[in-house]
Amino acid sequence: MTTNTEMETLVETIAMALVEDITQVSTTIETEGDTLVISLTVAKEDMGRVIGKEGRTAKALRTILNSVATKSNIKATLKMVEP
C-alpha cells in the first residue's frame, strides 16, 4: 500500500529529474472530498520542462501518479501551480 507521502515523493523525484533548478521544486498535499490533490511548484523557467510539448510530460506524470494511486485504491490528481 502506497502512502500519500510516497506519492508526493514520487512526483518530486520525477520533477527534479526534469528541471534545472531543483531547489525550486516543492509539493503540497491537500484532500478535496475523496481525492488526493498533489500541487507541484517549480521555477518559472522550468515550467515548460515539466509541462512538455503539448502537455505530454505533464500528462505522463499524471498517468504515473494515477497508476500508483489506483493500485492503492486512492483517487489522486496532480495540479501544476504557477510560481
CA–CA separation, 7 and 63 (whole Å): 12
Average pLDDT of the chain, as a whole number: 93
Instruction: Output the CA–CA distances (angstroms, integers) from residue 28 to 23, 56, 80, in the order listed.
Output: 15, 22, 11
pLDDT of residue 1: 60
User: How many other C-beta atoms lie within 10 A of the C-beta of residue 64?
Assistant: 15
CATH class for the domain made up of 4-81:
alpha beta
pLDDT of residue 5: 87
CA–CA separation, 32 and 66 (whole Å): 16
pTM value is 0.90
pLDDT of residue 29: 95
**Tens-place pLDDT, residues 27-49:** 999 999 999 999 999 999 999 99
The domain segmentation of the chain, as residue ranges, is 4-81
Q: Give the residue-averaged pLDDT of 47-72.
A: 95
